[in-house]
Structure 1
């Protein structure tokens, strides 16, 4: 027990190899080097989200032949707090490790590994869409075949989407997530492009939420930007922004974003959907463009909701390393509207709830 000083030591104790995935802002594989660095507090956690590390840990017994995802063993979903420097909070991490080791020593390695997170305060449960995307990404990384739901989605998107019918209602999220992981394969790129332009809105939304975890080819980026400029449904606008969230901000994207946000002094309830998507999924855009950040904060400050949305978005952005400094530079600036200055004054009057 004295030699167990990191998560890696725990997995060595039970004879498991571990693969880490970040499930915070997006689903992203974590390299072995990154894992060692944040595990031993040599570097900050690479993908902070709401001041936590959201980890999926795939545990596989050493020297075991690769099997299907379902047979691999154990997947842990662990949420660990980060300190002010963005590193793992060592006190919390050590408490988490001790609780795991105690259960493993009590129940034995096999049973203990499966039950180690039972009643743990560090466990989180991904929502249905994120779980579908994680399983799709994991299966593709392990070179597993897609599920039956995948072919259902391909068949639907290969049909005439201009004919209105209810066939889309039978499609599974898993199939759309598996299609998204194949976004850079030309035959599937074409189907996704077709879906974004012509599929039923629920299909478009679900597909965009799966695409947010992928790096899109330029052709699809252009399609999404074009759709963003003509779409009037703010929920679908938010979905398009999520799908584009791994793209770097450029002039082709910036102009449509300014047009989408519109007036500084108007922020209706529907407008909150794309603003929330920008804050939660695209903070790197806001960090790179102070004018984009200012428009959002001005719009929120002009809402007649007691500054609730303003506080929620400020909390979200102040916890992200790329937007923290630009945000506070803006809020401390003397070159803001009276409404924004007033909203800043109310920032600390109550504890805001997290943005969802």
Structure 2
């Protein structure tokens, strides 16, 4: 980037100036694609970030040369948001300045991972999330899945003994979950789910939150969830809730979220947190939201959990309006009334559950 070149005014402009192919992903609550136009409007503070998490926009930018797809770079960025959920312009400008400076100072002048050196806006996803991202990125670039995919595919398609499951790599499970629409994987998963070994299911569920499972898979997951609700393993309930959290049928989602909230498992912090952070669309139904609030107020998360989780939900404008309306419901329980009073009667900060 020469001194004579006009400095880019936005991250999108900087990236497009290289001629590289781009994809942008939300990395907050789950991994999902953002269109370049949508990201440009977000970056210009014209559009609130659709799924804020911990009051931040968590973004992955995948950059690659269309002629050499194996030569790619990924930037993982977290951008502060204001009270309206808009990207803070000062933070965006600071990020852009740092990126340009690093590119100018680098030996090759390329937009690679080195451009993020010593950058306070960069982050490293935890290992499971990184595996899911790599699986999705390879699919988006139309390149081969990882070397672990073949063995995972063979196990799911009954070409390996059932008890070979300990040999499956997590990356292979991630590749399967991101390629459910290929190679007969959805049908194979649906067949496997009823008797799937618990450790495999436990690893698979967080991966499935990033996709919209086919109806056959959804049916089997729901059957497993309903069976788990009758048991005493709340971690299994939370895991299956994550696996079902991204289904497209909102009425079906509201129905099973209600079942979870009406169960003793709703008192557990790990379960109520999954409902709040992964199933937030179900809470747009006032009846479900009221049940959620009652369980949150009386559950094991306590007052700190109540305040933290609701502050996170209230960062989204529609949820905020519905919550304020629910707070005024005259039929709320004394426990809920007390929790609301303590939340608004104190000064609290809102670091959400661990990312």
What is the TM-score when the length of structure 2 is the normalising length?
Answer: 0.88
- Give 2:308's match in structure 1, choosing from 308, 312, 325: 312
Flag the 1:249–1:155 CA change in 2: closer, same or farther, 3 A. closer
State the Cα distance separating 1:305 from its structure 2 match: 6.2
Cα distance per residue 1:264-302 (max 9 Å; x no partner): xx6776x32221111111101111x21222122212212
Name the structure 2 match of 1:86.
85
Name the structure 2 match of 1:119.
118
Name the structure 2 match of 1:130.
129
Flag the 1:236–1:210 CA change in 2: closer, same or farther, 3 A. same
1: CA distance, partners of 2:86 / 2:351: 23
Flag the 1:222–1:22 CA change in 2: closer, same or farther, 3 A. same
Matched, 1:105 2:104: yes
- Give 1:354's match in structure 2, choosing from 348, 352, 355: 352
Cα distance per residue 1:285-341 (max 9 Å; x no partner): 111x21222122212212466512212221221123442221121123332111111
1: CA distance, partners of 2:56 / 2:64: 25
- Give 1:39's match in structure 2, choosing from 38, 43, 55: 43
Write the mapping of 1:1-356 to structure 2, written as runs, cut at 5 A: 3-14=7-18, 16-61=20-65, 64-68=66-70, 71-72=71-72, 74-110=73-109, 113-159=112-158, 165=163, 167-185=164-182, 187-231=184-228, 232=231, 233-262=233-262, 271-287=268-284, 289-303=285-299, 306-348=302-344, 349=346, 350-356=348-354
Flag the 1:116–1:249 CA change in 2: closer, same or farther, 3 A. same
2: CA distance, partners of 1:304 / 1:18: 44
Q: Which blocks of at least 5 consecutive residues in structure 2 are unaligned?
A: none
State the Cα distance separating 1:92 from its structure 2 match: 0.6
1: CA distance, partners of 2:183 / 2:336: 47
| 1:21 match: secondary structure | strand
State the Cα distance separating 1:83 from its structure 2 match: 2.0
2: CA distance, partners of 1:261 / 1:279: 11
Cα distance per residue 1:29-72 (max 9 Å; x no partner): 222221222233332334333322211112235xx50423xx22
Task: Say whether the 8 Å CA contact 2:269–2:300 is kept in structure 1.
Answer: no
Task: Say whether the 8 Å CA contact 1:267–1:302 is kept in structure 2.
Answer: no
What is the TM-score when the length of structure 1 is the normalising length?
Answer: 0.87
Aligned length, in residue pairs: 345
| 1:247 match: secondary structure | coil
Q: Which blocks of at least 5 consecutive residues in structure 1 are unaligned?
A: none
Flag the 1:96–1:205 CA change in 2: closer, same or farther, 3 A. same
Structure 1: 4+ residue segments shifted above 4 A:
12-15, 160-163, 249-253, 266-269
2: CA distance, partners of 1:162 / 1:16: 44
Flag the 1:113–1:139 CA change in 2: closer, same or farther, 3 A. closer
2: CA distance, partners of 1:341 / 1:90: 38
State the Cα distance separating 1:15 from its structure 2 match: 5.1
2: CA distance, partners of 1:257 / 1:115: 44
Cα distance per residue 1:105-134 (max 9 Å; x no partner): 223553674422112110111111111111
